[in-house]
Amino acid sequence: MRVYLVRHLPPIVAPGLCYGSTDLATDPAAQALALPALQAALPANAPVYSSPLRRCVVLARALGQPVHIDARLVELDFGTWEMQRWDDIARADIDAWAVDVAGYRPGGGDSVAGMAARIAGFYADLINTGASEAVVVCHAGAIRLLTARAAGLDVDAMAHAAAAHPHAIGYGEIVILDCV
């Protein structure tokens, strides 16, 4: 199965704010500019899956196929850190997360390990559909975890791999996985 992972477009949010599972909108003008290139690069009749967050759903629906919304694709929930300035989050809390990036629950929200478990479940269900191609509109964290799963890593290794590498996935970028 060939899976096209599409990162959502830039959310409308002030710079320097921590956001993960916060439901943010994107700029419709930016989407109108990006959409033709995305449609040209993606398979026309493949099923489309999306995180339920607006920044993904709006783009997924614009791709022109019925969209399967799956809550397992939501970005990491940063709990009480959501929509706080990174500079205002206690240094001790940031340091505690740095010690255990995979297991720590920033702001009491999700851990990367917990997110990896739900992403692994989504991946298994996606592979079991029997489709030859699929488009998944989601977030950088989900893309890193799906990439790790497609590489054959188990949930624990997925979490550690995703936590060990900062993302360099651009908004609107497509990552293609050939999954077996």
10 within some domain: yes
CA separation for the pair 175, 145 (Å, rounded)? 12
- Residue 65: helix, strand or coil by DSSP? coil
Q: Does residue 179 lie in a domain region?
A: no
Q: Is residue 177 part of a domain?
A: no
Report if residue 180 sits inside a domain: no
Domain residues for 85?
Answer: 2-172
- Taking residues 88-114, report their average pLDDT: 95
The token duo for 20 is 């993960």
Whichever domain contains 77, its CATH number is: 3.40.50.1240
Count of C-beta atoms within a 10 Å radius of residue 106: 23
167 belongs to a structural domain: yes
State pLDDT tens for residues 122-141.
999 999 999 999 999 999 99
Q: Which own/partner pairs from 118-123 qualify as long-range (CB within 8 Å, at least 24 positions apart)?
A: 118/72, 119/72, 119/73, 119/145, 119/146, 119/149, 119/158, 120/145, 120/149, 120/154, 120/155, 120/158, 121/72, 122/49, 122/70, 122/72, 122/73, 122/146, 123/149, 123/150, 123/179
Number of domains in the chain: 1
pLDDT (0 to 100) of residue 143: 96
pLDDT tens for 62-73 read 998 899 999 999
**Percent of the chain scored above 90 by pLDDT?**
92
